[in-house]
Amino acid sequence: MEVFRLEDILFSYPNGVEVFKGLSLRVCEGEFLLITGENGSGKTTLLLIMAGLLFPQKGGVFFRGTPLTEKGLERGDFARTFRRCVGVLFQEPDIQLFSSTLREDIAFGPQSLGFPDVQERVERASALMGLEGLLERPPYSLSWGQKKRAAIATVLSGDHDVLLLDEPTAGLDSRWRERLMTTLKGLRDAGKTLVVVAHADPEMDAVASRKIVLSAPEEPV
């Protein structure tokens, strides 16, 4: 079953740099798609388009056959379904952490989406990322690695069918990187759909079912 379909999209930044011109892509249910490429190639931009946070100037983006547009996401029913299904990890953890305590941050997604078992989800996600003793701490007091694990926990607490992850292993030490890779493999094996942005990484290559490599666009003359 098709999860995302991008048809002949064109996306340019306000400075005139054309990132995508005629890009088409399909992501299927249960796929682990790895997106790599040089800096400035549009890896994060592509992820944010699939997340419904950026929109192309031309072309079509579809989620399970429904157009993914600004207007469509203004509909409460579709927006709620989409946000329940799709979880997003940003590259910078400080974007994801904004509450008074880590517990509140991890609980925010499930609460917003109306799940009844919020605290159970918080406990599970924090345990996976080794954060049980930090839940009452303010996010700003955490180390970079702890913030990264906390940001990942905010996504895992949603138990989404589709995960869009931007550089999930960046900033993690070898122990936590290995533990996260084990978690990603488990999610893949459980039938989740994963789209992961990462730099060249043989270990991530081995886990992914498919990889695409983006090239940086030429600067305008």
Query: pLDDT tens across 132-145, in order?
Result: 999 999 999 999 99
157 within 8 A of 121, measured Cβ to Cβ: yes
- Distance set, CA 218 to CA 20, 43, 67, 215 (Å): 11, 15, 29, 9
pLDDT of residue 218: 63
List, in sequence order, the alpha helices (H) in 74-192.
Answer: 76-85, 93-96, 102-112, 118-128, 144-156, 174-189
Q: What is the DSSP letter of 218?
A: P
Q: Give pLDDT, residue 221.
A: 45
State how far the Cα of 137 lies from the Cα of 141, in Å rounded to an integer: 7
What is the C-alpha separation between 204 and 197, in angstroms, rounded? Answer: 10
Domains and CATH numbers, the chain: 28-56+79-214 (3.40.50.300)
Q: Is this model's pTM higher than 0.85 or not?
A: yes
